Amino acid sequence: MLQIDDTIISLDLLDEHFVCDLGTCKGICCIEGDDGAPLEFNEVNIIEELLPIIWDDLSEKSKAVILAQGVSYIDDDGEPVTSIVNGAECVFTYTDEKGECKCAIEKAYREGKTNFYKPISCHLYPVRLQKYEDYTAVNYHRWKVCNCARKLGSKLKIPVYQFLKEPLIRKFGEEWFEQLEIADNELKNSELRNK
């Protein structure tokens, strides 16, 4: 584990490899699972304000769920998560012409309709954050639906944290990310010296 400021970071972010392979997985991480995507409390309000912008990209089932319960619900841990359809699929997904599952919020961002990219938990995946009283744990989450991403990451030799540079900076800042790079380089150099 590494500590930077008030974060404790799993070494898996440095040691494991990961690159999303959307052409293979078709975005299955957005339509599989037991709960919606974790949300920060302020993100609920942001997404509610975005509804008119993304509404036409949502499926009729998603619209019905949102009208019935809203954009989110509170999970068993007392945290907000995105509402889901059929007990698994995020309400903000849509399927593009290639048959790939994508995010309507991210689509609006890419089209310049909002400055909100998407929920930080989605942007950071496969990293998951766990908040404690004095620190935030930054962990690598392994899920079988991402086997192709691990395979591609290994082939390209891209560590998890490098693949997630943009969202990690979005969440923790550039200085934090620079400290993570320094730690990675120091650990690699010490491992080389120890061989």
Q: What is the pLDDT of residues 7-52, one digit of tens each?
A: 999 999 999 999 988 888 887 777 777 788 999 999 999 999 999 9
Domain that holds residue 153: 1-18+128-195
Supply the pLDDT for residue 24.
85
Note the pLDDT tens digit of each residue in 86-127: 888 899 999 888 888 899 999 999 999 999 999 999 999 999
The average confidence (pLDDT) of the chain is 91
Give the number of domains in the chain: 2
Count the Cβ atoms, other than its own, within 10 Å of residue 49. Answer: 12
Which of these three, 83, 102, 125, is where a domain ends?
125
Same domain, 156 and 82: no
Which of these three, 73, 95, 125, is where a domain ends?
125
Same domain, 31 and 117: yes
Q: Is the pLDDT of residue 141 over 60?
A: yes
Would you give the DSSP letter of residue 55? G
Q: Is the pLDDT of residue 193 over 50?
A: no
Q: Where are the beta strands (DSSP E) in 127-192?
A: 127-131, 136-140
SS3 60: helix
Q: Positive or negative, the Cα torsion across 54, 59, 62, 64?
A: positive
When pLDDT is cut at 50, 70 and 90, the band that residue 192 belongs to is low
Q: Is the peptide bond before 126 cis (omega within 30 degrees of 0)?
A: yes
Note the pLDDT tens digit of each residue in 53-72: 999 999 999 999 999 999 99
Which of these three, 96, 125, 154, is where a domain ends?
125
